[in-house]
Amino acid sequence: MRERVEKALEKVRPMLAADGGNVDLVEVTSDGVVKLKLTGTCGCCPMSQMTLKMGIEKILKKEVPEVKEVVAL
């Protein structure tokens, strides 16, 4: 599942890069929790939680149905 999550993140990265940010995949747990680290301007942006939940999590759940939740570290 990790490879599929990484592939889905490649679709998200250009959107984040446009604002000077990026995302690193830290872990995919066996129960479907994806742990990410937002980097660059995304790491300190006040809207990062909205980006995480409404953007990244939505795309990952669509691309990899086994994903149950996305959390930032």
> What pTM, to 2 d.p., does this model score?
0.92
What are the tens digits of pLDDT across the range 27-40?
Answer: 999 999 999 999 99
What are the tens digits of pLDDT across the range 8-24?
Answer: 999 999 999 999 999 99
Domain residue limits at 39 = 2-72
Percent of the chain with pLDDT over 70: 100
Per the listing, tokens 């679709």 go with: 11
Structure tokens at 66: 């086994």
Tell me the C-alpha distance between 45 and 43, whole Å.
6
Q: How many domains are contained in the chain?
A: 1
Tally Cβ neighbours within 10 Å of residue 65. 10
pLDDT value of position 3? 97
The DSSP output letter for 32 is: S
Tell me the C-alpha distance between 62 and 45, whole Å.
25
pLDDT value of position 35? 98
CATH number at residue 29: 3.30.300.130
- CB-based burial of residue 42 (10 Å sphere; 0-12 exposed, 13-18 middle, 19+ buried)? buried
